[in-house]
Structure 1
């Protein structure tokens, strides 16, 4: 069944990926009306999330943010499909690191780096960083259940010589890279909501006390990696700028949870500035009313 779904979907996705950008965004506009007005995809979840974190905003303000978000969501979905055939020239024109010299200086220190990202702006085109970096870039990701689409994700990354590591294998792989003398930049999205059984650290995110995913914090501190925040901004439709912001050069020497709390602070700052570019369909605050485990640390 997985193979059948893949074989039906892939040719359709490939044809969409070959569309010029002006047609791609025309299709995105059509998709927006279907998703927002007809299917009403997760509109209740989006409205609840926005109302929860922005209690000071009126219903009209929430509605306006919600509409802008869905337009961005449709753009990003089609940009993800475009990744199947986008050229190096196109992606470098549309996804730029604005402080590249500073990023290169970090890379020249001969120490591996972990880059923290959120579900904000564009994370699908983040492999473009590998085209301008001095060191290999490696994406840390959660495996897709359909193994054929999982293989497709690897093929898309491999087009630009990037590597992917499944999250459950990442610690062993980074240790192996270190033993082999390979200096890399590892990138991961770290604003997921952990399973309640693994909720060992709780803190405020957007003013709400929730459990925090600690995978990136553990990797950064246990392996004493350099930690950075990938500050991605959508400057206009289909164009993004990335600013590399240092968090800690020697993460293992910082206070416990410093890295993850600084990451969350930087991400929250972006969300409050332009909330329409955050992934509000994501049930980030679903455990806010849960009982905090007795062994959990609360900040």
Structure 2
């Protein structure tokens, strides 16, 4: 189905989620209130409605990946400074790209696999439903991207150090394991982050870029890269310099375009224990 028709379906989904089902409305509004305490209740509700419209469009855009051609994806996703990645890869280096659930992260991986002249490997957490896990796996890999589970990432990188590749991670998920999280401020809240990026950089000395996913208009995005670490000096993973830099870059993006973040996710469900 053409994307223009799918956007018509998105309007129906938006109405259902925002006004009928009120999909995770309590979570969405609570996240917005805690993240933007300076805004009024009316502004929070307006942002919530804008999020639901974005989320509905995101759903149909992901479905469109089943039939999108490489040329169509290339027209809709641009990488204006991708030389930051390609230059490092040309030097024989692998790289780590960190992003968040902002904009359309699924298009960034699938289009990046086409536009970056090297293997693009996405780190993912398998879904609980085998059907949806298989469905998303096929969507994410149909343009050439590869996937590795979060649990297997360190082992995978250790076994493929002679291969120049771009390892891609969404690093804004909420970690439950106290041995694998770092606490810092994000949007006025104590927030736990996975520390996998710090450990990967500490072990393999990977250069790191932050991927800022910006929606230009409906159905068009750009991925702007910012170098967080050049990979030329050792880093102590216990200092969490990479995760801290990622958190600051991510916060800046969310404040710039708050409706495009995934507010239905229970990002702050884990609270910092006393003494941690």
Smaller-chain TM-score bracket: over 0.9
Mapping for residues 95-244 of structure 1, pairs under 5 Å: 95-126=77-108, 127-178=110-161, 181-195=162-176, 197-198=178-179, 200-244=181-225
Mapping for residues 8-47 of structure 1, pairs under 5 Å: 19-47=1-29
TM-score (norm. length: structure 2): 0.94
CA distance in 1, matches of 2:270, 2:97: 26
SS in 2 for 1:212: strand
Gap runs ≥5 in structure 2: none
CA distance in 1, matches of 2:157, 2:135: 23
How many angstroms does 1:161 deviate by? Answer: 1.5
Q: Relative to 1, partners in 2 of residues 1:79 and 1:202: Cα closer, same or farther, differing over 3 Å?
A: same
CA distance in 2, matches of 1:33, 1:153: 25
Q: Relative to 1, partners in 2 of residues 1:168 and 1:85: Cα closer, same or farther, differing over 3 Å?
A: same
Aligned to 2:69: 87
SS in 2 for 1:231: strand
Q: Relative to 1, partners in 2 of residues 1:202 and 1:211: Cα closer, same or farther, differing over 3 Å?
A: same
TM-score (norm. length: structure 1): 0.87
SS in 2 for 1:124: helix
Aligned to 2:228: 247
Gap runs ≥5 in structure 1: 1-18
How many angstroms does 1:274 deviate by? Answer: 0.9
Are the aligned partners of 1:230 and 1:244 in contact in 2 as well (CA < 8 Å)?
A: yes
CA distance in 2, matches of 1:211, 1:157: 27
CA distance in 2, matches of 1:224, 1:103: 15
Q: Deviations over 1:72-108 (max 9, x none)?
A: 0011111111111111111111111111333321221
Counterpart of 2:52 (choices 65, 70, 75) is: 70
Counterpart of 1:49 (choices 16, 31, 47) is: 31
Aligned to 1:259: 242
SS in 1 for 2:105: coil
Are the aligned partners of 1:221 and 1:251 in contact in 2 as well (CA < 8 Å)?
A: no
Are the aligned partners of 2:3 and 2:61 in contact in 1 as well (CA < 8 Å)?
A: no
CA distance in 2, matches of 1:272, 1:59: 17
* CA RMSD, Structure 1 to Structure 2 (Å): 1.6
Counterpart of 1:282 (choices 246, 254, 265) is: 265
Q: Deviations over 1:162-192 (max 9, x none)?
A: 11101111111111111xx211000010111
| Larger-gyration structure (1/2) | 1
Are the aligned partners of 1:220 and 1:251 in contact in 2 as well (CA < 8 Å)?
A: no
